[in-house]
């Protein structure tokens, strides 16, 4: 249960020299990175996808067991059709090209968000790589695509209401009951949330799960964010004392 995981993490005082078990990243700055160089925004997104591969490979060696990345939000549909279609093509290409490598490296890949709006081919690729990597344990990689925290909470609330209406729950609903209806059911909550590019918004990313996460806002644009940048942030995380409301 997620709730039990949170209790264990709180009791152990994650931080205090220990690496975070679960890191979540808002990968911001791809478009600006390209624009600053006079290139189309999609060039920045392609470079950002290359950076994802490097960070994924680095995580197990620096003690990170869970990595969640924000790839496409429910608000990103407001962008130009050219950029949205280009991003979807990048997502399809990433899954197709990285499937063998992720499987060989022991990475389990999962997706959160509302899939129904995504094109059928992408949905099929997502389901395929989830099934193919389901037995892997070296790193749990979760990709948030067409994800919004408020949307997730609304969908979870509807699932919970349906369970109650069907008589599958008796008595008042608990936090654990709602957690079991989230996209992230069974995942530990993030210990650390990183946002790149200098912006200091949480942008509707994991609002329930990150309630007690530590935050780091990096000035570095995502295509320039290297494993060394990540390691520096993890070092700072290790100096924090996490009290979870205690003394």
The domain segmentation of the chain, as residue ranges, is 21-148+191-236
Helix boundaries (H) for the chain? 2-12, 30-36, 41-58, 81-104, 120-132, 149-165, 175-179, 227-237
Give pLDDT, residue 45: 98
- Among 6-10, 66-70, 153-157, 189-193, where is mean pLDDT lowest? 6-10
Residue 174 marked in a binding site: no
Q: How far apart are CA 244 and CA 211, in angstroms?
A: 10
Q: Give SS3 for 207.
A: coil
Rounded to 10 degrees, the C-alpha dihedral 217/223/229/233 comes to 30
Give pLDDT, residue 200: 97
Residue 158 marked in a binding site: no
Class of domain 21-148+191-236: alpha beta
CA dist 99 to 50, 59, 169, 203, Å? 14, 18, 39, 29
Contact 146, 113 (CB under 8 A): yes
- Among 14-23, 146-155, 212-221, 225-234, where is mean pLDDT lowest? 14-23
pLDDT at 9 over 60: no
Q: How far apart are CA 25 and CA 96, in angstroms?
A: 22
Percent of the chain at pLDDT > 90 equals 87
Residue 44 marked in a binding site: no
Q: What's the rounded mean pLDDT across residues 39-54?
A: 98
Contact 117, 145 (CB under 8 A): no
Residue 229 marked in a binding site: no
Residue 138 marked in a binding site: no
Give pLDDT, residue 11: 36
Question: In this structure, is the dihedral angle defined by the CA atoms of residues 242, 245, 246 and 247, taken in order, positive or negative?
Answer: positive
Give pLDDT, residue 247: 58
Q: How far apart are CA 109 and CA 127, in angstroms?
A: 10
Centroid of chain to Cα 243? 24
Known catalytic residues are 28, 76
Confidence of residue 244 (pLDDT cuts 50, 70, 90): low
């Amino acid at each position: 249960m997620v709730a039990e995981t949170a209790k264990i993490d709180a009791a152990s005082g994650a931080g205090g020299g220990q690496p975070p078990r679960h890191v979540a990243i808002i990968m911001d700055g791809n478009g600006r990175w390209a624009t600053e160089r006079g290139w189309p925004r999609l060039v920045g997104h392609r470079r950002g996808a290359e950076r994802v591969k490097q960070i994924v490979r680095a995580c197990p060696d620096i003690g990170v067991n869970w990595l969640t990345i924000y790839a496409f939000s429910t608000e990103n549909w407001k962008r130009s059709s050219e950029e949205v279609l280009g991003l979807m093509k990048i997502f399809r290409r990433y899954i197709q090209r990285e499937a063998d490598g992720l499987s060989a490296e022991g990475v389990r890949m999962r997706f959160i968000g509302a899939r129904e709006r995504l094109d059928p081919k992408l949905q099929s690729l997502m389901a395929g790589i989830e099934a193919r990597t389901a037995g892997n344990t070296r790193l749990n990689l979760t990709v948030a695509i067409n994800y919004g925290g408020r949307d997730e909470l609304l969908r979870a609330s509807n699932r919970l209401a349906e369970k109650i209406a069907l008589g599958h729950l008796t008595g008042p609903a608990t936090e654990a009951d709602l957690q079991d209806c989230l996209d992230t059911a069974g995942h530990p909550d993030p210990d650390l949330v990183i946002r790149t590019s200098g912006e200091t918004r949480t942008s509707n990313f994991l609002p329930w799960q990150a309630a007690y996460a530590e935050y780091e806002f990096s000035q570095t644009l995502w295509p320039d964010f290297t494993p060394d940048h990540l390691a520096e942030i993890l070092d700072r995380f290790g100096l924090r004392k996490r009290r979870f409301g205690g003394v």
